Structure 1
Amino acid sequence: MKTLTIFLLILSLVVPYIVFMSVKQPNYLSGRRYDVYVINGFKNNSSLPLVIWCASEEDDMGGRALQEGDDFSWSLKTKLWGTTLFSCTMKWDRLRKRFSAFQVQRDGHRCAPLRKCFWLVKEDGFYFSNDGLNYKKDFSWFS
């Protein structure tokens, strides 16, 4: 009897959560496809590329040396329960920064409606856009 009571209690907590997540927060559940772009927005750095290395828990996408205006991009599909995370390490001259290029809890909504996430890396920081036209500074190299 005690086991049944505990089971019903757990069930009464889990089912509403699953319903809420699927209705109110669909991006947290699996199946959404997103495109992520990281663009070298430096000016006059043709002799010194922006080096990028990106990976998730399951997928190491390797590194690239991006010249001015080049981009590194990939597509992803969100996993169950909002655990999708892609991190990138950026290096330019003596500067080095690791950041989350895609984190479903943060980016699931802000990459909408096109489900595209753009990062423009410049001398003074990292700029985000969901349309590739209107960028807003998200953080600096030193934050």
Structure 2
Amino acid sequence: MPTRKETKLAKGITTTDSMAPLKACMFIFLLRLSHVRPISKVSNELGSQFTLQCQSQVRQFDIQLLDEGEFYFWEFSLDAEGKFPWSCVVGWEKSSGTFDAFDPSQDPRRCGPALCDWLAKPDGMYLYVEIQQKYVKEYLWPN
């Protein structure tokens, strides 16, 4: 009687299903595709330190202190956290303000499929708009 060839999937795990490796890869791909998108990133190009605190209705991050040239990023699930806007409070020596780091009604189109990339500059907050292939000033610092 013929026996089916065993396929090693991982250490200590084998199967006789020849499609198992492909099925496992597809499952991981679909899981990644549906649960972790997009990533929001805020970079400091102010010339000095600034504080950043971002939140949505379901999660709030601790205050971050970013030096010139540093950045902070986070990723979240579109299924749960991506249904709500993410706002951030930025404070530095010359001003402070709040901006929407992710707006589910428009940012999947503006940011592209994976990254909302923000720059904090002395004259305001800039978002990299995928369609235009450039940074666009979205927020001015209050006087």
By the TM > 0.5 criterion, same fold? yes
Query: How is 1:23-62 mapped onto 2 (pairs within 5 angstroms)?
Result: 31=35, 33-43=37-47, 45=48, 49-62=49-62
* Structure 2: distance between partners of 1:32 and 1:109: 17
1:126 is aligned to 125
Aligned to 1:115: 114
Residue 65 of structure 1 aligns to which amino acid in structure 2?
L
Number of residue pairs the alignment of both structures matches: 107
Structure (1/2) with the larger helix percentage: 1
Deviations 1:98-118 (CA, angstroms, capped at 9, x unpaired): 111011102011111x42111
Any gaps of 5 or more consecutive residues in structure 2? 1-33
Aligned to 1:142: 142
Aligned partner of 2:77 in structure 1 is: 77
**Alignment partner of 1:69: what SS?**
coil
Gap regions ≥5 residues in structure 1:
1-29
Higher Cα Rg, which structure: 2
Q: Provide the rounded CA distance (Å) in 1 between the counterparts of 2:36 and 2:129.
A: 15
1:33 Cα offset (Å) = 1.0
What is the deviation of 1:31?
Answer: 4.9
The aligned residue for residue 4 of structure 1 is none
Q: CA offsets, 1:5-36, max 9 Å, x none?
A: xxxxxxxxxxxxxxxxxxxxxxxxx8561011
Corresponding residue number in structure 1 for 2:8: none
Percent of matched pairs sharing the same residue: 28
TM-score between the two structures when normalised by the length of structure 1: 0.66
Post-superposition offset of 1:76: 1.2
CA RMSD of aligned residues (A): 2.2
Name the CA distance, whole Å, in 2 between partners of 1:94 and 1:122: 11
Q: Is the 8 A contact 1:78 1:84 kept in 2?
A: no
**1:72–1:38: structure 2 CA closer, same or farther, 3 Å change rule?**
same
Equivalent position amino acid for 1:37 in 2: K
Q: Distance between the aligned counterparts of 2:125 and 2:36, measured in 1?
A: 25
Quick one: higher RCO (CA 8 Å, sep 6+), 1 or 2? 1
Where has structure 1 moved over 6 Å in runs of 4 or more?
none
TM-score, length basis structure 2: 0.66
Are the counterparts in 2 of residues 36 and 102 from structure 1 also a CA contact under 8 Å? yes
